[in-house]
A and B are shown apart, each in its own frame.
Chain A
């Protein structure tokens, strides 16, 4: 079954404590993205990866890092989380670039609360 798997699904953490949200896809997709969803703002792209070792900033990259050492994994790293990073996070993957109009697969989401 085609899947994008995120972990953890729910996390409450404290300000400044580094955390990583993992994302893994089993479809051999080259293109992966991270989004955050906030009320009234829709989803906003944080980072984007076109292939292994190739990443680019999205619209809201401040406070986040990513890495793409393997095609299937695209972890999101919060080096020093702050309360304004409390949000619902989605990982997504696709076989072709987003502008190609192909199907985009989203993970189940990770609820992150920073206190």
Chain B
């Protein structure tokens, strides 16, 4: 059974600091998604990582994927208040027509304070 674990669950960080959110998953997969969710809102797609060693960056966020370690990271550089949100990783499990699914981590609630 594919399981996805995120940590930390809560992250309170000061503006200007750096931090990393970790996403571990239990079975082989090379399809990993990162989403952002603001309170009461839908999910906003941040990154899709499609192969081992993939790295993508957008603004202060950088995501990477290590399929051998079954680990993805979301690195935050010089955090600003606007980054306050809940971040989810999700792994595409199955890999076949009749077992297609997206397994989400529990989410990391990030709060950035001055």
The answer to whether B97 touches A103 (Cβ under 8 A) is no
The answer to whether B104 touches A50 (Cβ under 8 A) is no
What residues on B are CB-neighbors of A100 within 8 Å? 31, 92
Q: Would you give 6 A-B contacts (Cβ < 8 Å), ordered by A?
A: A42-B106, A43-B102, A56-B98, A92-B102, A98-B102, A109-B41
Look across to chain B and name the residue whose beta carbon is closest to the beta carbon of A43: B104
The verdict on B42 contacting chain A, using a C-beta distance below 8 Å, is yes
The verdict on A65 contacting chain B, using a C-beta distance below 8 Å, is no
A35 to chain B, nearest CB (A): 8
Q: How far is the CA of A31 from the CA of B103 in the complex (A)?
A: 16
* Partner of B42 from A31, A40, A90 at Cβ < 8 Å: A90
Look across to chain A and name the residue whose beta carbon is closest to the beta carbon of B96: A99
Instruction: Tally B residues with Cβ within 8 Å of A.
Output: 30
A90/B100 contact (C-beta < 8 A), A42-B106, A99-B95 known: no
Look across to chain B and name the residue whose beta carbon is closest to the beta carbon of A38: B106
The answer to whether B102 touches A50 (Cβ under 8 A) is no
What residues on B are CB-neighbors of A104 within 8 Å? 33, 45, 102
The verdict on B50 contacting chain A, using a C-beta distance below 8 Å, is yes
A42/B101 contact (C-beta < 8 A), A101-B50, A101-B92 known: no
Q: How far is the CA of A41 from the CA of B104 in the complex (A)?
A: 8
A101/B31 contact (C-beta < 8 A), A42-B106, A43-B88 known: yes
What residues on B are CB-neighbors of A109 within 8 Å? 40-42
A103/B92 contact (C-beta < 8 A), A45-B102, A48-B100, A56-B98 known: no
The answer to whether A103 touches B45 (Cβ under 8 A) is yes
Q: How far is the CA of A50 from the CA of B102 in the complex (A)?
A: 14
